[in-house]
Amino acid sequence: MSNPDYPNIFDAHAHIFPQKVAPRAVDSILSFYDELIQDMEPGKGTASDLIASGAGIGINRFLISSTATRTEQVESINDFIAGVCTDSRFVGFGTMHPEFPNPQLEIERVLSLGLKGLKLHPDFQEYNIDDPSLFPIYEAAEGKLPILFHVGDTRTDYSNPHRLAHILKMFPDLVVIAAHLGGWSLWDDFDHSLFEQNVYIDTSSSLMLIEKETAVDIIRSHGIDKVLFGTDYPMWSPEAELERFLSLGLTKEENQKILWENGRKLFGLQP
């Protein structure tokens, strides 16, 4: 069922897993964040549950990814995501790991699989965003694939927004999506003046933790045309995340851009 105000909605930040490992994967995510976030609203972590969660509220396109915490997971995750993306409702991002041998070859394979970007999670993978071991990945992706980064955590410095700013200076043609309004729980450290036209931010896993006025200021300061709506499923209910976003009080035109138009332009989405 479509949303009468917004007939197409793109969730630009969701995670899915194979059926047999989904319960364990969801439990792992929840345990990683349980000391910081209370009252999470987890889904099942499967493609079918994600579709069902969005169906009643008008979310009909999804950017999906999963994170490799070990090198031997990289290829199988990329194959899994590509397989799910035979359904045109999905846009798939592959994964990479800093210790993966010959990342350039796997990134070429990611492209051949039809995946549209890479997802990196420095806190899960335990590396600094600006670690030199990642430079070959950035070099291979620059000008070819956007990278969705988890950004921000109060417990470690792996994903500090300042580290991302360092990378953008070194790789100016790298297209980046800085998740969680550019720096989960570290929003004061995200200096929008450092980021040029290649950096998007998404709204995922942020709106329940931040004052509405602050969220609106971040969104408008960064530029409406470079903001994407995301739910971070399965951590949160897509319905609750959409309600939180719409309650910000942005204009209908601003909402339309964030919920659909910006993603449509970035990934060539079809209604």
Separation of alpha carbons 119 and 71, rounded Å: 14
Query: Token pair of 184, please?
Result: 């989960």
pLDDT in tens, 51-106: 999 999 999 999 999 999 999 999 999 999 999 999 999 999 999 999 999 999 99
Question: Per-residue confidence at 209, pLDDT binned at 50, 70, 90?
Answer: confident
pLDDT score, position 213: 94
Write the CB contacts of 5 (distance below 8 Å, at least 6 apart in sequence): 252, 255
Q: pTM score, two decimals?
A: 0.93
The predicted-structure confidence for 172-190, as pLDDT tens digits, reads as follows: 999 999 999 987 666 676 6
Asked if the model's pLDDT at residue 155 lies above 60, the reply is: yes
Quick one: average pLDDT of 137-141? 97
38-47, 110-119, 138-147: lowest mean pLDDT where? 38-47
Predicted pLDDT at 27: 84
d(CA 240, CA 31): 21
| 176-178/147-149 β-pairing | parallel
Segment 211-233 shows an average pLDDT of 94
Q: What is the pLDDT of residue 192?
A: 64
Q: CB of 119 within 8 A of CB of 81?
A: no
Q: Which is more confident, 203 or 210?
A: 203
Tell me the two tokens of residue 251: 């204009």
Tell me what pLDDT residue 33 has: 60
Kindly report the three-state secondary structure assignment for every residue of the chain. CCCCCCCCEEEEEEECCCCCCHHHHHHHHHHHHCCCCCCCCCCCCCHHHHHHHHHCCCEEEEEEECCCCCHHHHHHHHHHHHHHCCCCCEEEEEECCCCCCCHHHHHHHHHHCCCCEEEECHHHHCCCCCCHHHHHHHHHHCCCCCEEECCCCCCCCCCCHHHHHHHHHHCCCCCEEECCCCCCCCHHHCCHHHCCCCEEEECCCCCCCCCHHHHHHHHHHHCHHHEECCCCECCCCHHHHHHHHHCCCCCHHHHHHHHHHHHHHHHCCCC
What's phi and psi for 188, nearest 5 deg? -70, -20
For residue 168, the tally of other CB atoms under 10 A from its CB is 19
Distance CA 156, CA 162 (A): 13
> What percent of the chain has a predicted confidence (pLDDT) above 70?
88
**How far, CA to CA in Å, does 247 sit from each of 47, 214, 243, 250, 252?**
27, 13, 6, 8, 12
Q: What is the percent of the chain with per-residue pLDDT over 90, rounded to a whole number?
A: 71
Domains of the chain from N-terminus onward: 9-267 (3.20.20.140)
State the chain's mean pLDDT as an integer.
90
How far are the Cα atoms of 42, 90, 118, 155 from residue 81, in angstroms, in the given order? 20, 9, 11, 30
Q: Provide the 10 A C-beta neighbour count for residue 130.
A: 20
pLDDT in tens, 21-51: 999 988 887 776 665 455 667 789 999 999 9
